[in-house]
A and B are shown apart, each in its own frame.
Chain A
């Protein structure tokens, strides 16, 4: 038996909206630890890792480890019928091929349930090594969204360079070049507005802006985003999910031909 109840159901809606552009079908892996998902986009350029810890749920029952295979476009259609303030319950029998979504309005005057057919998806797990990154930047997620959007008007790729001066986002296109420099800015009364740059080594990597823009669909999950970079690793763009876990996007850099 698998049954979990999430009071802040909007988190689930936001997570699915943030990843469904990159991944069509995915397994949600359920264990006593919580719900997790790991999936690559079809071209194996980006990897998504989601964790929702069991203690973030009001009720969490998972009798044995199960993988629930689902089509994310269908999950999105179903979650769109839930109100933003609804409490969401997910349940599945051990050997069933259906996942039941139950949506309860906050004052319990509307309760709906929808059964969704599950899919058998061959899951491929990648080992993500723990790494000490050369540069870690924490900045307002809205600011990162704006930078990615603005640079997309000029070019297709972004060079992210971290030096002791700050972090520079640069692009080149047919109409010209653009640079945006963000410096460390610790706003003590508003920590969410801070930009904090921790650098062990200067690092500069090039990425496809199309993917970065896709990652920023997670902006509403968290007021800040953490970007971790090392010269020999994919970049990590992490949105924390309030007291429950995280949604991380890994993106392979562009390399010199």
Chain B
């Protein structure tokens, strides 16, 4: 099964 990705691994906090 595929693992759910996380938004924070694509977009960084500013």
B residues near A253, Cβ cutoff 8 Å: 5
The reply to whether B11 and A126 contact each other, CB–CB distance below 8 Å, is yes
Contact B7 A45 (CB under 8 A): yes
**Cβ of A254 and Cβ of B13 under 8 Å apart?**
no
Q: Is the CB of A44 within 8 A of B6?
A: yes
- Closest-by-CB residue of B relative to A211 is B4
- Kindly supply a per-residue 1/0 record for chain B positions 2-14, scoring 1 wherever the CB is within 8 Å of any chain A CB and 0 otherwise: 1111111111111
By DSSP majority rule, is chain A's interface helix, strand, loop, or mixed?
A: loop
Partner of B4, one of A124, A125, A254: A254
Contact between B11 and A255 (Cβ–Cβ < 8 Å)?
no
Contact status A257-B5, CB under 8 Å = no
Q: Which of B3, B7, B8, B11 contacts A257 (CB 8 A)?
A: B3
B2, B7, B11, B14: the one contacting A157 at CB < 8 Å is B2
Question: Which of A126, A129, A233 touches B13 (beta carbons < 8 Å)?
Answer: A126
Q: How many Å from the CB of A38 to the closest CB on chain B? A: 10
B7 CB to closest chain A CB (Å) equals 5
Which 8 pairs between the two chains have the least Cβ-Cβ distance?
Answer: A252-B5, A254-B2, A126-B11, A127-B14, A257-B3, A47-B7, A255-B5, A252-B7
